[in-house]
Structures are given as C-alpha cells and as structure tokens.
Amino acid sequence: MSQSFAVTNRLFLSISIPMTLAYISTPLLGLVDTAVIGQIDNAALLGGLAVGSVIFDIVFVTFNFLRSGTTGLAAQAFGAGNSTEIKAVLFRAVLLGLACGIVLFAIHPPILSVGLNLLGGSEEVQAAASAYFTVRILAAPLSLANYAILGWFLGLGKAKTGLFIQTFLNGVNIVLSVWFVLGLDWGITGVAAATGISELLTLLLGAALAYRHMTGDAYPNWRQVLDKDKLIAMMTLNRDIMIRSFTLLFAFAFFTARSADQGDTILAANAVLEKFLLIAGYFLDGNAVAAEQIAGRAVGARYRPAFRRAVRLSLLWGFGLGGFGTLVFLGTGTYIVDFMTVNDQVRQVARDYMLWASLGPVVGTLAYQMDGVFIGATWSKDMRNMMLISLAVFLASYYALFPQLGNHGLWLAMLIFLSARGLSLLYMCRLREEQQFCPKPAE
C-alpha cells in the first residue's frame, strides 16, 4: 500500500541548499592545507601533500558508495515507514564502513607503493607523501563510518544535520591543521594528524546525533541487522556504485592522459579548465542529494506522484543552476583562468578551449540529477551499465573527432560523454519507473 506525501519546492530546497553549502566547504579545506604547508619554505612538502592527497582521494572515491548507497536504502526505509529497518540500515552501513576501513589499513603499503610509482616525484616528495599517507590512513575506518552516518541522515532528509556534520568536520580539520603545522611545527604529518583527529571527533558527534534521533524507539536485533539478504542487497548496490565510480575516474584519467600527449601547455590548460567541471559538480551535487532522498522515499512509499515530482524538480533546479554556471563561466572564465595560472602561454591556450569547459555545467546537469534519482531508487545496475555504455561512446567519439579537431575534439568528446550519461539514464528512468510502480501481476 502506497503512502502519499507532498513534494514541494520548499522540501526539495531544504535538502539541496544545505548540502550545496556542505560540499562547497570541502575545497576550502584543501586550500587551507596547501596554504599552511606553503608557509614552510620547502617545495618538496607541497609536492608530497599533493601526491599523498591524490592517492588518498582516489582510494576514497572508490568507497563513496558508503555515503550514496546508505542514502538510498535509508530513504526507502523512511518512505516505507519501517522504523526498525531505518536503524538497521545505519548499523549495517557503519559496520561495513568500519570493516572496509580496517581492510584498507591492512593493505595500505602496496596501495601507497603503486600510487607513488604512478605519480612519481623526487625522493623528498615521495618521502613527504609517504609520511602523510601513512598517518592519515590510520583514520580510514573512522572516515568510512562517517560516510555511512552522513548518508543515513541524508536518507532521512536531515540535510541541515548533514551540513552541521560536514561543517564540523572541515572546521575542526582546518583549526587543527593550522595549530599542528604553524603552532607545533609538526610539518606534513600535522596535516594528516589533523584529519584523523577531526574524523574521530566527527564520528563521536555523528553517533551522538544518531542516538538522539533514535531514542525512544525499538532497536533491531543483531539477526535483523545481519540479515543475509539485506547485507547482500547492500553489498550489491555498493559494488555497482563502485564500478560506476571507477569508470568515471577512468574517463577523466583518459582525458588527462590524452591532454598530456599534446604537450605540457595543453595539459596545463586542460587541467585549469577541468576545474570548471569540478566547481560545477560541487554546486550540482546538493541538488542530486535532494533527488536521492525524495526519489528513494517515493520508491519506499510506493507513491509514483512523489517520484515524478522529485524528478521534475531535480531537473528544473538542476538546469537552472547548470545554466547559471555556464553563463558565469562564459562571462568570467578569463578572469578565473588568469587567477589560476600566471603563465601567459597557458592562459592563451585555455582561452581557445574555454567555450567547451563553460558548457560543461549545463551539459552535465542531466547526468548529475539522474545519478541522484537512480541512487535513491537503488537502480544501481542500470546506473553502472549506462556509465559503461557512456564510456564506450566517449572513447568512440574521441577516436572519431580528435584526428580532425585536435584538442577541440577531446573536449567535444567529453561533453558527448556527459550527455550520453544523462540521456541514457533518462531513458532507463522511464522504463524503471513503469516497472517499479506498475509491476505486472504474477501469472
């Protein structure tokens, strides 16, 4: 039996706006870490921070499924009005996060070795990167458990709580980084230690908030938490999201590699312009989270009107933001590029390809929003398959366009990739919606 609920602009924005603010705070942390290490007159430390952060970010992007997958499952349990399953989802996700973190810590030496070999750098840079990574990986179980807790709150539509948790995490991290590096002179290990301690404090905060939210209700027993079918469903969902994330990483790595083939100047220019896509992603991710929560809740409630309304509002606000982002980049892109690099040659080359990067926000909007819908509905298999198909379209477009258009062809292939992701998911969304809400009767 379906459970109706109203999907309004106010509901959608009550999730979208706080999470947009939360995601925007994340790049600030990276800037502060770089700035405090930059106060030490040692270029190798800056290089080590960059290399160590890249290795860590690649590893943790792989485990982002703990956030998004938990959001979808919690939203569906919330929509179904199943309070016991709501709590069970949190316990399962936290246990899975802790287990993955422990395994990650156990195998981190070969991960670090491979990462250093791939990224290179001088002996001093690699030593600094190793020191940073070795300290920061100690907090891996805590970080992944925090992913699960954040995802759980977002699944329940508690975006303000999510904003508070993320702001606390990044704020404490910034304060400790400044204190440990500039005050206590701990160097690059101080930045890593600050991250680890902030993850611990955030886990304690998140656990306290979750406990307060659940006080007075019956808790699931361990048999319910460790239900075999539910665990398999969660791991299957997470597996598909992980494959999707790997595929996306491969696409951007391919873009970077093909940029490098064209020389250092084009590589640098493309790297600067890629930041346009990164910035757009932070603005559109808040909208995607709102789509995750409301679409997942609608699936759990078996209420089709709410699902349709969630998709429409996601696209409406998404294209509004994406179009605004494109207009901003078209109008101010030159100033952004000049701020990001002082090299005149790189600046000029970046201007030649700026139109393509500026179109990225509006072209990529459909993909971002459909990702949110599919994660909330837990249609992970389709999301994985459409990503693989889109990658094939991207590679085919590159090999068809690059010989004639050069770097313009590479950028056009990237926009085709973004379009293919969005359009393929939109097509599948219509099919899955019909199957989800109007299932055929058993014969």
How many angstroms separate the CA atoms of 20 and 290, rounded? 10
How many angstroms separate the CA atoms of 78 and 109, rounded? 40
How many angstroms separate the CA atoms of 70 and 212, rounded? 19
What confidence category does residue 298 fall into, taking pLDDT thresholds of 50, 70 and 90?
very high
Give the number of other CB atoms < 10 A from CB of residue 57. 12
For 329-350, write each residue's pLDDT tens digit: 999 988 888 876 777 888 898 8
- Tokens describing residue 103: 């395994």
* C-alpha dihedral, 440 to 381 to 422 to 394, nearest 10°: -140
Instruction: Dihedral sign for Cα 43, 111, 55, 89, please.
Output: negative
- pTM summary value: 0.85
What confidence category does residue 49 fall into, taking pLDDT thresholds of 50, 70 and 90?
confident
Q: Is the pLDDT of residue 25 over 80?
A: no
Q: Are 88 and 225 in contact (CB under 8 A)?
A: yes
**Percentage of the residues of the chain whose pLDDT score is greater than 70:** 95
Query: Alpha carbon 52 to chain centroid distance?
Result: 19
Average pLDDT, the chain: 88
- Tokens describing residue 121: 């750098």
For 177-226, write each residue's pLDDT tens digit: 999 988 998 988 998 999 999 999 999 999 999 998 886 667 888 888 88
- Tokens describing residue 429: 């969304």
- Tokens describing residue 26: 């994340």
Q: Is the pLDDT of residue 442 over 60?
A: no
User: Among the ranges 37-46, 76-85, 200-209, 277-286, which has the highest mean pLDDT value?
Assistant: 200-209
Dihedrals phi, psi of 64, to nearest 5 degrees: -65, -15
Q: How far is CA 40 from CA 99, 170, 188, 192, in A?
A: 37, 22, 10, 16
How many angstroms separate the CA atoms of 227 and 34, rounded? 45
Give the number of other CB atoms < 10 A from CB of residue 345. 12
Within 8 A by CB and 6+ apart from 216, the residues are none
How many angstroms separate the CA atoms of 67 and 75, rounded? 12
Token pair 């901003």 is found at 328
- Tokens describing residue 294: 């409301």
Report DSSP state, residue 137: G
- Tokens describing residue 81: 């009005």
Give the number of other CB atoms < 10 A from CB of residue 254. 18
**Residue 160 CB-density burial (10 A; 0-12 exposed, 13-18 middle, 19+ buried):** middle
Report DSSP state, residue 217: S
> Residue 165 has what pLDDT?
94
Q: Indicate the SS3 state at residue 184.
A: coil
For 88-147, write each residue's pLDDT tens digit: 999 999 999 999 999 999 999 999 998 888 777 778 888 988 999 999 999 999 999 999
Smallest CA-to-CA distance from 280 within 167, 371, 372, 362 is with 362
